[in-house]
Amino acid sequence: MGNFQDLVDYCLDCVAKPCKKGCPLENNIPDFIKAAKNQEFLDAFNILSETTVLPSICGRVCPKNLHCQGNCVRRLKGNAVQIGTIEAYIGDKLLKSDYPIFSEIAKANGKKVAIVGAGPAGLTCAAFLKKYGYDVTIFEKYDYLGGIISHGIPDFRLDRGIALENFNKIIDLGIDVQFNKELGRNITLKQLKKKYDAVFLSFGANKSKIPNIKGKKLPNVYGANEFLESQKVLELSGKNVIVIGAGDVAMDMARTAKKWGANVLVVYYREEKNMKADKEQLALAKQEGIEFLFNTNLKQIIKNKDYYKAYLASNNGFKFVYPCDYVFFAIGSKPDDKITKKLGLKLDIKGYIKTDKKQMTSMPGVFAGGDLIGQERTVASASRLGRDAASYIDSYLS
């Protein structure tokens, strides 16, 4: 226990619970830490399971300094309580036990719900629907679980074995999963609507936004989202790589390229203080030798024979050329309109699926969540939308 006991003892157990308010999932942080202080780990896990089913994952990959730890009272006069580390410890401890995620599950109510996508929103929705007594089937286009957790977060940030254990703990609730089922290819929304009482769409929005500049379609120019999802590996020893962006995807792409041997330059059009990336990931990127160029835009990419050149321009008008071998865009993503436009659902001006306040789409009985509806792109935020959707679906079917 040693060091862990020191971590939990450091928490002041605040009455106001600002850390809870800063958590997208509203985890009851002081209470699960208090239980852990007394080494009552099953109680701590049960408290966590009231709001989350991915503690081993969220505790590791969430931007804690923006959320729970960023709101910790301890941070005012020193360091914040290491909430993420504590959450992951509790999650890991119970993953290796025989305890289920939920201490109680309602009796089967005879109603069936289909979920499209096995990412954080889909898995969380499935788990809570099962808790409420529903028969749940997940349709996943790949042959593995996790969605963006599995193909968007590099191994050096999240151990694959731990993630798989967490996923399996959810599936062990009695959730059916049908792999290699892709909406619009071998299943349709119409088929799901006919067979199931409700449908939850959570297949993500992973199509990278790429500016309309010269060179955007060159062979060595990629959208970081699709590239990470493809799980392709490149030999980049000594190569010059530019990553455009300032969020977590940009950091993941930059650090991945660096570990493959590249010289990496991250280009961002605003100041460093405006970066949305987790501060811990940003610090690690700098430690690893990744360079940053702020207040700068990429104007075009030119290929001359076997080498590329990036034309950059600073906000004060200074223009220069940077030799590069690869360019990755990580400036956001959107839904694949080849899929969404065929669903018969109303979309907003940016192509996201429109929902009401209870996450129901324009088609009764069809709900949506996660990146598909244009919300914040973190595992915790997607999970919250999945949990909320389960509650809304329960209300709708009740």
pLDDT per residue rounded down to tens, the chain (398 residues) = 459 999 999 999 988 899 999 999 999 999 999 999 999 999 999 999 999 999 999 999 998 888 999 999 999 889 999 999 999 999 999 888 888 899 999 999 999 999 999 999 999 999 999 999 999 999 999 999 999 999 999 999 999 999 999 999 999 999 999 999 999 899 999 999 999 999 999 998 889 999 999 999 999 999 999 999 999 999 999 999 999 999 999 999 999 999 999 999 999 999 999 999 988 899 999 999 999 999 999 999 999 887 899 999 999 989 999 999 999 999 999 998 889 999 999 999 989 999 999 999 999 999 999 889 988 778 999 999 999 999 999 999 99
Class of domain 208-332: alpha beta
Across the strands, what pairs with 299? none
The answer to whether 161 touches 95, Cβ cutoff 8 Å, is no
How much is the pLDDT for 320?
A: 92
Q: What is the CA radius of gyration of the chain?
A: 22
Helix axes 41-49, 29-37, angle to 10 degrees: 170
Tokens representing 336? 């694949």
CATH of the domain spanning 2-95: 1.10.1060.10
Supply the pTM of this predicted model. Answer: 0.94
Distance CA 316, CA 30 (A): 48
List, for residues 249-267, the tens digit of each pLDDT value: 999 999 999 999 999 999 9
The answer to whether 378 touches 57, Cβ cutoff 8 Å, is no
Q: How do 240-245 and 326-330 pair as beta strands? A: parallel
Give the domain ranges of the chain: 2-95, 112-205+335-397, 208-332
Residues 6+ apart with CB under 8 A from 366: 189, 193, 198, 199, 200, 201, 345, 360
Quick one: which of 368, 324, 290 has its CA closest to 114?
368
| CATH code matching the domain that covers 112-205+335-397, chosen among 3.20.20.30, 3.50.50.60, 2.40.50.420, 3.40.50.800 | 3.50.50.60
Tokens representing 332? 């956001």
Q: How far is CA 56 from CA 53, 95, 162, 260, 328, in A?
A: 9, 8, 7, 27, 30
Task: Judge whether 2-95 and 112-205+335-397 match in fold.
Answer: no
Distance CA 361, CA 355 (A): 4
Tokens representing 178? 């049908």
